[in-house]
Structure 1
Amino acid sequence: MPHVATPNTEQKILAIGEYPAIGLADARAKREEAKKQLANGIDPSTAKKAAKAASQDAAANSFEVIAREWHETHMANKTADHAKKTLLNLERDVFPWLGRMPIVNIEAPDVLAAVKRIEQRGANEIASKTRRANGQVFRYAITTGRAVRNPVPDLQGAFVPTTVKHHAAISDPVQIGALLRACEGYTGHFTTHCALRLSFLVMLRPGEVRKAEWSEIDLERAEWRIPAAKMKMREEHISPLSRQALAIFEESKPLTGTGHFVFPSVRSNARPMSETPAPALK
Structure 2
Amino acid sequence: MTLSDTKLRTLKSTGKLFCESDGGGLYIEVLPTGKKRWGLKYRIPTGKQETIRLGDYPAYSLSDARAWRDDCKSLAKRGVSPMALKRGDQIPSDTNPAVKELAQAFIRNWCLKAIEKSKDKEAKTKAADTVEAFSWRWYKEIVEPANSNPRNIQRLLEKEVIPAIGAKQINEVVVTDILAITDKIKNRGADQMALQARNALKRLFAYAIAREKIRFNPAAAIEAKFIAQAKSRDVALTTEEIGRLLRGIYQSSMRRTHKLALHLLILCMVRKSELIEARWEELDLGKSEWSIPGERMKKDKPHLVLLSRQAVAMFEELHKLASGSEWVFPSRSDLNRPIARSTLNVVVRALEIDVRDFVIHDFRRTASTHLHEAGFNSDWIEKCLAHETKGIRGVYNRAQYADQRREMLQWWADFVDSQIQDERGKVIIGLFGKAYQSSV
* TM-score of the aligned structures, taking structure 1 as reference length: 0.52
**Which residue, 70, 78, 82 being the options, matches 1:11?**
78
Higher relative contact order (CA 8 A, sep 6+): 1
Aligned position for 1:118: 175
Aligned position for 2:222: 160
1:260 aligns with 2:326: yes
1:150 aligns with 2:221: no
**Which residue, 341, 347, 354 being the options, matches 1:277?**
347
How many residue pairs match? The answer is: 227
Residue type of the alignment partner of 2:169: V
Q: Determine the C-alpha separation between the residues in 2 that align with 1:121 and 1:134.
A: 11
Gap change, CA 1:132 and 1:54, over 3 Å in 2:
farther
1:133 aligns with 2:204: yes
Question: Gaps spanning 5+ residues in structure 2: where?
Answer: 1-42, 48-75, 93-106, 145-150, 183-196, 353-440
Deviations 1:61-87 (A, max 9, x none): 735336676666776896577347544
Aligned position for 2:306: 241
Specify the SS of the correspondent of 2:303.
strand
Residue type of the alignment partner of 2:319: K
Give the Å deviation of 1:225: 0.9
Question: Gaps spanning 5+ residues in structure 1: where?
Answer: 18-25, 32-44, 99-113, 139-148
Q: Determine the C-alpha separation between the residues in 1 that align with 2:322 and 2:181.
A: 42
Specify the SS of the correspondent of 1:277.
helix
Give the Å deviation of 1:60: 7.4
Specify the SS of the correspondent of 1:212.
coil
The RMSD of aligned alpha carbons is 5.3
Residue type of the alignment partner of 2:243: G
Deviations 1:168-213 (A, max 9, x none): 9673442222113334566875434432321211234546534432
**Which residue, 289, 295, 304 being the options, matches 1:222?**
289
Contact preservation (8 Å) 1:224, 1:238: yes
Give the Å deviation of 1:268: 6.0
1:94 aligns with 2:169: yes
Contact preservation (8 Å) 1:182, 1:281: yes
Specify the SS of the correspondent of 1:159.
coil
Specify the SS of the correspondent of 1:240.
strand
1:82 aligns with 2:157: yes
Choose 197-206 or 59-68, whichever is displaced more. 59-68
Q: Determine the C-alpha separation between the residues in 1 that align with 2:274 and 2:212.
A: 40
Contact preservation (8 Å) 2:129, 2:169: no
Contact preservation (8 Å) 2:45, 2:78: yes
Aligned position for 2:384: none
Specify the SS of the correspondent of 2:292.
strand
Aligned position for 2:426: none
Q: Determine the C-alpha separation between the residues in 2 that align with 1:153 and 1:210.
A: 40
Please give the residue correspondences for 1:41-56 in structure 2 after superposition, counting only pairs within 5 Å: 55=118
Aligned position for 1:191: 257
Give the Å deviation of 1:214: 1.1
Q: Determine the C-alpha separation between the residues in 1 that align with 2:254 and 2:220.
A: 51
Gap change, CA 1:124 and 1:266, over 3 Å in 2:
closer
Contact preservation (8 Å) 1:71, 1:83: no
Specify the SS of the correspondent of 1:200.
helix
Specify the SS of the correspondent of 1:245.
helix
Q: Determine the C-alpha separation between the residues in 1 that align with 2:205 and 2:127.
A: 11
Q: Determine the C-alpha separation between the residues in 1 that align with 2:199 and 2:45.
A: 56
Residue type of the alignment partner of 2:307: S
Identity among equivalent pairs (%):
20
Aligned position for 1:59: 122
Question: Based on CA coordinates, which of the two structures has the bigger radius of gyration?
Answer: 2
